[in-house]
Amino acid sequence: MQLPLNSYERTDAASATSPSRPLIFVVEDEADIARLIAHNLRASGFEVQSFVNGATILSAALREMPALFLLDVMLPGTDGFELCRHIRQTPALASIPIIFLTAKTAEADRVRGLELGGDDYITKPFSPRELVARIRSVLRGLAKETAVAEILRFGELEIDVGSMTVQVQGRNVLTTVREFRLLEYLATHRGRVLTRDQLLDAVWKETPFVTPRSIDVYIRRLREKIEADPRHPQYLKTLRGIGYRFEAPK
DSSP string, 114-179: HHTT-SEEEESS--HHHHHHHHHHHHHHHH---SS--EEEETTEEEETTTTEEEETTEEE---HHH
Task: Give the CA distances from residue 198 to residues 36, 84, 90, 183, 219, in Å, rounded to whole numbers and listed in that order.
Answer: 35, 28, 32, 14, 14
> To which H or E segment does residue 180 belong?
helix 177-188
Where exactly does CATH 3.40.50.2300 map onto the chain? 10-143
For 223, list phi and psi in degrees, rounded to 5.
-60, -40
* pLDDT attached to residue 206: 62
Residue 230 confidence (pLDDT) = 95
CA distance 24 to 70: 7
10-143 CATH choice from 3.20.20.220, 3.40.50.2300, 3.40.50.2000, 3.40.50.150:
3.40.50.2300
List per-residue pLDDT tens for the chain, 250 residues long: 444 333 333 333 333 344 578 999 999 999 999 999 999 999 999 999 999 988 889 999 999 999 999 999 998 888 999 999 999 989 889 889 999 988 877 777 877 887 788 888 888 888 999 899 989 988 876 665 434 458 899 999 999 987 888 999 999 998 888 889 899 999 999 999 999 988 988 887 766 666 777 889 899 999 999 999 999 999 999 998 899 999 988 7
According to CATH, the topology of domain 151-246 is Arc Repressor Mutant, subunit A (1.10.10)
Cβ atoms of 2 and 37 closer than 8 Å: no
Cα separation, 158 vs 185, in Å, equals: 14
Query: Alpha-carbon distance 122 to 100, whole Å?
Result: 6
Q: Do residues 226 and 183 touch, judged by C-beta distance below 8 A?
A: yes
pTM over 0.75: no
pLDDT of residue 245: 96
23: how many CB neighbours lie within 10 A of its CB?
19
How many Cβ atoms are within 10 Å of 65's Cβ, its own excluded?
13
Q: How many CA atoms lie within 13 A of 161 on its CB side?
A: 17
Which of these, 194, 190, 167, 164, lies nearest to 179 by C-alpha position? 164
Q: Are 101 and 180 within 8 A, CB to CB?
A: no
Q: What residues does CATH 1.10.10.10 cover in the chain? A: 151-246
